[in-house]
Amino acid sequence: MTHQAGVHIVSHPLLAQHLTKLRAKETLAREFRWSLKESAKILLLDALAQAPMKKIPIETPLARTEGQMLAIPIVLVAVLRAGLGMIEGMTEILSEASLGHIGLYRDERTLRPVHYYSKIPPIAPNAWTIIVDPMLATGGSATYAINLLRERGARTVKQISLIASKRGIQNLRKAHPDIEIFVAQVDKVLNNKGYIVPGLGDCGDRLFSTA
Ligand code: PRP
Ligand code: URA
């Protein structure tokens, strides 16, 4: 794992393999869904590596001993639509997480996020709120989502994306300097339509076969 000023580039052979499949244009929708879901698990494991734990007494069939459990609630917030492709994998490894949804799409001309839906569970002051969106392009959607979550009481907020652009990271950290970002890869450029290059194309369209 690389760690530079709040940006964690998660390094794992299986994540690199899934990213390669996700980038390849010939990858079918069902393989795309599978690799995105599996990538999400690896990214979440890394994002939770430093989570505070509490000790609890337990009894095995043989003796009393001590175990550990997460000391904080985790709220996963999927940014629609593409974030849905990561949430299922995450809940498979963290079934106790509560789930929120924020509906945003980018205006094709201005590239600004347009908000059309949100349903956020209660967020306790000590909760870790994790925004889940595979693509961090201009950073506008993530910045919007974090503003909204802050209004709902979120204090510790993290962002998990599969691919981020350098510009997206810069913009997001400028707006929210305390946010930790976990990604599989940072790509250098955005094209004139705001797509990450090389990227993987339109994630929502590839996930839901809408292109
Ligand atoms: C994509 C992606 C992010 C956003 C990133 O959503 O899933 O939410 O773009 O771009 P930004 O960093 O420049 O804001 P999109 O607008 O394609 O909506 P969709 O997931 O519903 O297709
Ligand atoms: N949204 C996507 O789905 N892909 C990009 O490259 C940028 C925004």
Closest of 156, 150, 143 to residue 115, by C-alpha? 143
Specify whether the CB–CB gap between 71 and 90 falls below 8 A.
Answer: no
**What is the structure's pLDDT at 181?**
98
**What is the structure's pLDDT at 171?**
97
pLDDT digits 0-9 by tens, 106-133 = 999 999 999 999 999 999 999 999 999 9
Question: What residue type is 80 in one-letter code?
Answer: L
**What is the structure's pLDDT at 4?**
65
Distance (Å, whole) CA 19 – CA 184: 8
* Ligand 2 centre distance from Cα of residue 199 (Å): 8
Asked if residue 136 has its Cβ within 6 Å of ligand 2, the reply is no
The ligand with the least distance to the CA atom of 191 is 2
Q: What DSSP designation does 95 have?
A: T
Distance (Å, whole) CA 177 – CA 171: 10
List the chain domain ranges. Answer: 2-49+72-191+198-204
Cβ count within 10 A of residue 156: 16
- Predicted confidence band at 48 (pLDDT cuts at 50, 70, 90)? very high
Specify whether the CB–CB gap between 156 and 129 falls below 8 A.
Answer: yes
Ligand 2 pocket test, candidate residues 203, 207, 208, 210, most atoms within 8 A of CB: 203
Rounded to 5°, the CA angle 66-67-73 comes to: 140
Per-residue CA distances from 180 to 7, 14, 27, 130, 162 (Å): 6, 22, 30, 10, 14
Closest of 154, 152, 198, 194 to residue 178, by C-alpha? 154
Q: Of all protein residues, whose CA lies closest to atom 22 belonging to ligand 1?
A: 204
The mean pLDDT of the chain is: 96
Specify whether the CB–CB gap between 79 and 146 falls below 8 A.
Answer: no
Distance (Å, whole) CA 183 – CA 160: 6
pLDDT digits 0-9 by tens, 148-182 = 999 999 999 999 999 999 999 999 999 999 999 99
Q: Which CATH class is domain 2-49+72-191+198-204?
A: alpha beta
**What is the structure's pLDDT at 211?**
83
Strand-strand pairing, 64-70 and 53-59: antiparallel
- Predicted confidence band at 5 (pLDDT cuts at 50, 70, 90)? confident
* Ligand 2 centre distance from Cα of residue 203 (Å): 6
132 is written with which tokens?
């889940």
Specify whether the CB–CB gap between 199 and 135 falls below 8 A.
Answer: yes
